[in-house]
Amino acid sequence: MSVTNNTYQIGTLQGNTTFYDWYVKENNEIIAKLNLLRVYGATSGDGILASTSSSGLLSLSIGGTAGLVSSGLSFNGPITFNNLVNLPNVSYKITGLTSGTPGISFGMPMRITTSGYTAGRANNQENAETIGIISNLDATGIYLTLMGKVDGDFSSVNGGATLSAGCFYFLSPSVTGGISTTEPSVTGQVSKPILLGLGATSGVVFPYRGNYLTSSAGASGATAPNRVYVLIPGAAASTQFASGRAISYNPNIEEFVEADASSNREWYGGWFLSKSSTSGSLSNEENFVVGVITQSSVSGADLLVEIATGGEISLTQAEGVYYLSQDFDADVATNLIRSSNDYSGKIIGFQVASNKFVVVNNPKKSSGVFGVSALTSSSTSGQTENLLVNGDFAIWQRPDTGRDTQYTEIGDVIFADMWRRQDGVSGGTAAKSYYIQRQEFADIQSDVEGDPKYYIDVKGLGLSGGTGATYGFGTDYLTIGHVVENAKSFDSQTITFSFNAKCSLANYSISSYIARYNGTTLIDYNEMEEHGLSTSWGKYVVQYEVPTLPNPGSPLENDYFEIGLNLKPLINTANTNSISLGTGLYVSIASVCLYLGAITNPYDYHPPLQTRLNKCRKLYYSTYALNQTEGSVTMINKEEPTYNVPSHIILPNGLCKFIEWPFELRTTPTVTIYSPKTGTANDAYNRSSNRDLRNSSGTIGYNSQNRVAVLGVDTLLTDATKDGIKICVSGGAVNYDNVFYHIVADADYPI
């Protein structure tokens, strides 16, 4: 029998087998089969390790005994996987850019040009053509990730902040190489999603197409910057959500409202057609208008609705001003009424020409609360907007007032934006022990709802023990209050004030209060309620009817409403208990909220950070990022400032530049200019001479011009208004020099 390469079993010899049978089996079967064995040794190579043992066992491993590949593997042919494969990302290496290249950092979105790779920016179509982000960089090059998961510190490209899980980050239109949770919305910019946050230091890169934002009236779908798209659950069979109708959303209203039966409206998961109401349980309904429906389509049992929240849409009707109907019936064509000279509903938009309707969704407010009271017999009311801009202490532009370290000075002080401490404890420094410090919650905590990031610790001990009365304060008051514009805010209206607090020692109390000021003059003070604190976090809710403000006199340019907490009960108890000034007795405060109306169980909510920051900057505007310190050095390297530093180029007969504030400030500000190179106040950095203006004398610039900075004479002259600032370089620079400076403009209320 012949021997082949296939499996073949050699037969067994018997006791009566002849010698000749042995001979045939030995030569034709056994020896022939053994000669087919060709493994005499093993050779390693290309990332595969091979070895043989004395027993003839052959061992193979990829990348070592641990099964890990520590060096690269290369394949010349296709690779096929029959099961799941964990690929972290899709990246490639770029040479020519390294960890030492100026202006290059981890997480930066990059684009490619004819001259190489550069950082992207969403200010126009060309600059926004990014292909990935930098996921690694060293002395030999950088790695660009086109798609997939990336881990690292994104703070350098995210305005100093870490990532937030579940948030999309867009290519920034204002910072080259930056990302932001705020989607670009200005015509001419590009809305390009870059990254989805998985955690503080982790995100997923998506190769999404950028959307160029135009003002075309015919724009639809994702190309229009004034649209939102909503999937309304279970509404596929509804005919109510038609083009040209205003639509509202309130998460507390998910089903039929008995008080609204005459309107024949349908309710789907909080979505319903809009109308204006002036009385009863629906009196505040108009505050929940989202926009005007432009088109809709069925998606299974749901309805996909396109809603214009602002700007121009295609709609044909008579020209004029359109407002919400008060007695809207869903059986008629529209809930928008054209004005005849008098109207009381909320203005939605203007028909300006044939097929051109401009949605404005004017934020007209009314009293009352629209919500749960219409649905149940409970005393709980629906919840409106949180009216405290910085109730979570997230915005703290003045870094030396307790943001990073304890602020231990006594006296009145503005610390976090919109927050001020008024010191009414008599006695000097020796009789007081104060501090304010912002603290950060653990990443996972359940003591305070809404998952705030920060809280503050406030200590205020004083030994005067006064009991006199001035506007209800007494002589021992220490208030921590949040500002609301206009002293007459909430006159004769019911408000709901809530906060979370605890005390380092048991059996101490604080009081909630409102106060009205005109500058440094207290107009009136009203205590709402005293709150006993425990050593664990607790939530405290107060409903209060605001008294009508007494005649405050004039002028009222600096008048404001203040609401907050008074440590007077704690101070009095501490004095009664003979607590020494050195005792660690302090109050922790978190997530402070203010709502219009009587709300029994309000949920802590704080609007998006950028929206609130813009409101804070009307009182205190700074070009420093939130994580930077005023007067600090903000340079990428020895010559290049960070991207958030304003600048201007000195031109012949053009030593001055006018910089317009992003929004009108509250009043004419007090301005301080800082050099990003050294942090020196009232000075600027001359990039062309690589030194501050005051130190530039003797250097030579364009066309052999000598720079001159006279000792003791200001190198900068400024003239600020509520609208902007004029900055003139009076020394230390010559034509075509590039001058950089940080600006801090304080337009806050005086204290």
DSSP for residue 20 = H
The domain spanning residue 607 has which CATH number?
A: 2.60.120.260
- Expressed as residue numbers, the domain containing 141 is 89-212
| 624: in domain | yes
DSSP for residue 25 = I
Closest CA relative to residue 436, chosen from 469, 470, 480, 477: 480
Query: Do 502 and 425 share a structural domain?
Result: yes
Query: Do 332 and 264 share a structural domain?
Result: yes
Task: Among 581, 615, 649, give the residue marking a domain's end.
Answer: 615
The domain spanning residue 706 has which CATH number?
A: 2.60.40
**Predicted model pTM:** 0.52
| 519: in domain | yes
Task: Among 615, 630, 662, give the residue marking a domain's end.
Answer: 615
Helices and strands in the chain, H and E counts: 4, 44
| 640: in domain | yes
Query: Do 185 and 48 share a structural domain?
Result: no
For 406-418, letters b (16+ CB in 10 Å) and e give ebeebeebbbbbb
Q: Give the Cα separation of 318 and 353 in Å (integer).
A: 8
User: Torsion-angle region of residue 126: left (phi > 0), alpha (psi -120 to 50) or beta?
Assistant: alpha
Query: Do 149 and 58 share a structural domain?
Result: no
Q: Considering just the CA atoms, what is the radius of gyration of the chain in Å?
A: 35
| 75: in domain | no
Query: Do 627 and 674 share a structural domain?
Result: yes
Q: Are 142 and 136 in contact (CB under 8 A)?
A: yes
Q: What are residue 46's phi and psi, to 5 degrees?
A: 55, 40
What pLDDT is recorded for position 77?
A: 81
| 394: in domain | no
Cβ contacts of 470-473, under 8 Å, gap ≥ 24: 470/522, 471/515, 471/522, 471/524, 471/525, 472/525, 472/526, 472/527, 473/424, 473/522, 473/525, 473/566, 473/568
For 347-376, letters b (16+ CB in 10 Å) and e give bbbbbeeeeebbbebeeeebebbbbbbbbe
Q: State how many domains the chain has.
A: 5
Query: Do 55 and 5 share a structural domain?
Result: yes
What pLDDT is recorded for position 213?
A: 76
- Residue 458 pairs with which residues in a beta bridge? 436, 587
Query: Do 544 and 417 share a structural domain?
Result: yes
10 Å Cβ neighbour count for 454? 17
Strands 691-692 and 559-566: unpaired
- Low-confidence stretches of the chain (pLDDT < 50) are 215-223, 279-280, 365-369, 371-381, 465-473, 555
What pLDDT is recorded for position 63?
A: 53
User: Could you write out the DSSP letters of every residue in 489-548?
Assistant: TTTT-EEEEEEEEEESSSSEEEEEEEEEEETTEEEEEEEEEEEEE-SS-EEEEEEEEPPP
If 0-12 CB within 10 Å is exposed, 13-18 middle and 19+ buried, where does residue 553 land? exposed
What pLDDT is recorded for position 313?
A: 84
Query: Do 549 and 436 share a structural domain?
Result: yes
Query: Do 422 and 328 share a structural domain?
Result: no
CA distances from 615 to 107, 199, 344, 500 (A): 29, 28, 28, 24
CA distances from 469 to 249, 474, 511, 513 (A): 48, 4, 16, 15
Q: In what order do the strands lie in the sheet with 685-686?
A: 647-649, 738-740, 685-686, 691-692
Query: Do 192 and 50 share a structural domain?
Result: no
The tokens describing 312, both together, are 């121009």
Q: Give the Cα separation of 478 and 433 in Å (integer).
A: 12
Owner of token pair 């089996």: 25
What pLDDT is recorded for position 61?
A: 66
What pLDDT is recorded for position 441?
A: 93
For 12-39, letters b (16+ CB in 10 Å) and e give eeeeeeeeeeeeebeeebeebeeeeeee
- Identify the helix (H) or strand (E) that includes residue 247: strand 246-249
What pLDDT is recorded for position 60?
A: 65
Task: Among 585, 615, 645, give the residue marking a domain's end.
Answer: 615
What pLDDT is recorded for position 221?
A: 37
What pLDDT is recorded for position 187?
A: 66
What pLDDT is recorded for position 593?
A: 96
Query: Do 492 and 509 share a structural domain?
Result: yes
Q: What are residue 274's phi and psi, to 5 degrees?
A: -90, 150
| 388: in domain | no
| 751: in domain | no
The C-alpha angle with vertex 687 and arms to 650 and 706, in degrees rounded to 5, equals 60
Task: Map residue 441 onto helix, strand or coil.
Answer: coil
Report CA dihedral (577, 582, 584, 585) to the nearest 10 degrees.
40
| 649: in domain | yes
Q: Are 116 and 103 in contact (CB under 8 A)?
A: no
Query: Do 653 and 604 share a structural domain?
Result: no
Q: Give the Cα separation of 497 and 513 in Å (integer).
A: 10
The tokens describing 46, both together, are 């290309």
